[in-house]
Structure formats: structure tokens, C-alpha cells
């Protein structure tokens, strides 16, 4: 362990109405094998029981710093957390996800051994809203593969799984106040500053949620295209490549999402999870051939 007057790692977690999950998120950080960290939490104007849950953890562990204030949104909150952090490394964490016990240890070790690397992520296990396993996402591991995926708009990287050098974050100007795609913008700018890596091991549990907001999906697609276009211009590449690189699509209905989760889980060997979502899909659409076919697997 690396010790000193300041913690080696600042784990930063924005929270907004995450009552159902935030306790498990905090516990997953407090249970890390790497102990030299601070956990900075901003409650971004929650209207549920999240603040009360967080205060209980603050009373139990002096490494937690909790700030509560009015709602400002995710990007400004992450930038504020950066300003508050004191650690050499900046580990992101989402309030509805969980980190495996060795996440911080392995990411710190990698950054210490690779001084040219400015941020490192990890592979992740997708779970359903209840935390049941769906499938593992085997992400790209090299800088070139990661940057190409980000630049194409097809990356599956999750900002909560990253650990970033704090000085690199400050040197690129931190997190831009964008309503959408701020994370993609951040990682594209970091890739222009240094190297990015992904550990080939599952260290993060990424929770999926039901959502059918097609308008939001369209807005996100547009924001992704704009962020990629800006990156192409910065790199001296043809800016008109951006729109053609973003996948078209729309949000799935909750029924279609459950079917997708069931197939994912079945293909990954998570039979119990597959059956759970297959029968939920069948209950919601009892006359659907697709639902019956799925339930029979």
C-alpha cells in the first residue's frame, strides 16, 4: 500500500435518487483490498432516502466525505468531485453499480507500472436491476482498440469503471459540462493526452435498467455524433466521418429489453436469470411467439 498525507485514490460517486442501490455501491468500495482511499460523495439533490442512507455510512467510516446540495446534473457534479478530490488517482464510481473487491488494487498497480497510461478501466459483468448476472462484456484492452471504439461511437465503456490520473484530468480541463456524452468526450480527450488501457478481468458490476425513452436515445445519438466530430477536428481528420460512425437505433420497449436480457443470460450460462426474464416477458405478452420460444429454452 502507498501511504502519505493524502490518499492515493479518490473514489468519487455522484448520487441522485439511488436509494435502492447506493448502500451496495458504498459497501463495495469500503470492502476493497486496497485501503488507502477517500470516498467522496455528492448527493445531487436527491428527493428519496439516499441522504439518510449515506449519512449512516459516514458515521461508520472516516474516509467518507458527503456533500449535499441542490440538483445540478451529472457532469457538473463530476467536475465538482474532481475539484474536491485530493488523491493521486481519480476512481469513478456510479451509485447503482458495484466494484469487485480487488478493483482499486489492480487499477492502482497498473497505473504505477505504466506511467504512460492516463486511465485504466476493466471488463465488467452486466446485471439486471436486481443484481442477477446477465453476461460479461469482454472489452477491448489496448489503447488503439479502445480509442477506435470510442471514435466510432460503438464503445461499451462505462465511466464508473475507470481510474484516471488526477493530474491528467486537470491538464485536459476536467469534465466538460455537457448534458449528454460527457463521458465519451472525456475519454476521447484523455486518449489525446496519454494512453488508455482496460484490464482483461471483471472488476465492475454494471447494472442495467428498464428504459424506453426513444427521445432520450435520439438526443444521445446526436450528442455522441457531435462529440466525435469535435474529436475528429482536433485530430485533423475529416469531420464528416462522425455521423456515419454512430449506430442508428431507438430505445427498446421494456418487453424487448427483458427478452434481450434473457437471451444474454442464457448464452452466458446464467440460466436462472434467463428464466426469470423469459417468464416475465411471457407474463407481459402471453400470445407472443417470441416470448414462448424464449421461455421454452
pLDDT tens for the chain, 297 residues long, are 444 579 999 999 999 999 999 999 999 999 999 999 999 999 999 999 999 999 999 999 999 999 999 999 999 999 999 999 999 999 999 999 999 999 999 999 999 999 999 999 999 999 999 999 999 998 888 999 999 999 988 877 788 999 999 999 999 999 999 989 999 999 999 999 999 999 999 999 999 998 755 667 788 889 999 999 999 999 999 876 655 445 545 556 888 888 899 999 999 999 999 999 888 888 877 756 666 666 666
Q: What confidence score (pLDDT) does residue 242 get?
A: 55
2 located within any domain: no
Q: Are residues 135 and 110 in the same domain?
A: yes
Q: What confidence score (pLDDT) does residue 55 get?
A: 98
Q: What confidence score (pLDDT) does residue 241 get?
A: 61
Beta bridge partners of 59: none
Q: Are residues 101 and 153 in the same domain?
A: yes
Q: Are residues 112 and 224 in the same domain?
A: no
Q: Are residues 191 and 165 in the same domain?
A: yes
Alpha-carbon span 122 to 141, nearest angstrom: 8
Q: Are residues 99 and 144 in the same domain?
A: yes
Residue 227 · residue 188 · CB < 8 Å: yes
DSSP state letter for 135: E
Q: What confidence score (pLDDT) does residue 50 get?
A: 98
131 located within any domain: yes
Q: How many domains does the chain have?
A: 3
Q: Are residues 194 and 225 in the same domain?
A: no
Alpha-carbon span 287 to 285, nearest angstrom: 6
CB-CB neighbours of 30 under 10 Å: 15
Q: 164: buried, middle or exposed (CB in 10 Å: 19+, 13-18, 0-12)?
A: buried
Q: What confidence score (pLDDT) does residue 291 get?
A: 61
109: domain range?
9-207
Q: Are residues 48 and 168 in the same domain?
A: yes
234 located within any domain: yes
Residue 38 · residue 81 · CB < 8 Å: no
- CATH number of the structural domain spanning residue 182: 3.90.550.10
Alpha-carbon span 179 to 263, nearest angstrom: 32
CB-CB neighbours of 199 under 10 Å: 20
Alpha-carbon span 175 to 189, nearest angstrom: 10
Q: Are residues 96 and 47 in the same domain?
A: yes
Amino acid at each position: 500500500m502507498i501511504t502519505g498525507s493524502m490518499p492515493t485514490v479518490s473514489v468519487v460517486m455522484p448520487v441522485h435518487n439511488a436509494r435502492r442501490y447506493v448502500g451496495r455501491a458504498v459497501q463495495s468500495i469500503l470492502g476493497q483490498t486496497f485501503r488507502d482511499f477517500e470516498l467522496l460523495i455528492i448527493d445531487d439533490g436527491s428527493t428519496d432516502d439516499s441522504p439518510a442512507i449515506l449519512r449512516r455510512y459516514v458515521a461508520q467510516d472516516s474516509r467518507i466525505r458527503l456533500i449535499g446540495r441542490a440538483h445540478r446534473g451529472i457532469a457538473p457534479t463530476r467536475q465538482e468531485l474532481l475539484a474536491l478530490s485530493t488523491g493521486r488517482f481519480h476512481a469513478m464510481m456510479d451509485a447503482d453499480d458495484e466494484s469487485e473487491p480487488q478493483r482499486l488494487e489492480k487499477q492502482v498497480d497498473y497505473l504505477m507500472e505504466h506511467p504512460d497510461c492516463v486511465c485504466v478501466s476493466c471488463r465488467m459483468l452486466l446485471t439486471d436491476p436486481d443484481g442477477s448476472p446477465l453476461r460479461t462484456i469482454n472489452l477491448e484492452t489496448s489503447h488503439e482498440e479502445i480509442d477506435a471504439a470510442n471514435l466510432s461511437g460503438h464503445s461499451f465503456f462505462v465511466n464508473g469503471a475507470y481510474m484516471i490520473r488526477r493530474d491528467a484530468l486537470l491538464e485536459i480541463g476536467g469534465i466538460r459540462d455537457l448534458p449528454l456524452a460527457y463521458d465519451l468526450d472525456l475519454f476521447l480527450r484523455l486518449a489525446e493526452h496519454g494512453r488508455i488501457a482496460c484490464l482483461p478481468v471483471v472488476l465492475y458490476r454494471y447494472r442495467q435498467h428498464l428504459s424506453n425513452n426513444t427521445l432520450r436515445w435520439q438526443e444521445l445519438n446526436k450528442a455522441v455524433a457531435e462529440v466525435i466530430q469535435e474529436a475528429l477536428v482536433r485530430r485533423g481528420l475529416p469531420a464528416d466521418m462522425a455521423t456515419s460512425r454512430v449506430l442508428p437505433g431507438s430505445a427498446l420497449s421494456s418487453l424487448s429489453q427483458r427478452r434481450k436480457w434473457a437471451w444474454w443470460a442464457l448464452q452466458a450460462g446464467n440460466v436462472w436469470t434467463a428464466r426469470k426474464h423469459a417468464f416475465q416477458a411471457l407474463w407481459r405478452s402471453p400470445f407472443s411467439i417470441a416470448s414462448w420460444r424464449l421461455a421454452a429454452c
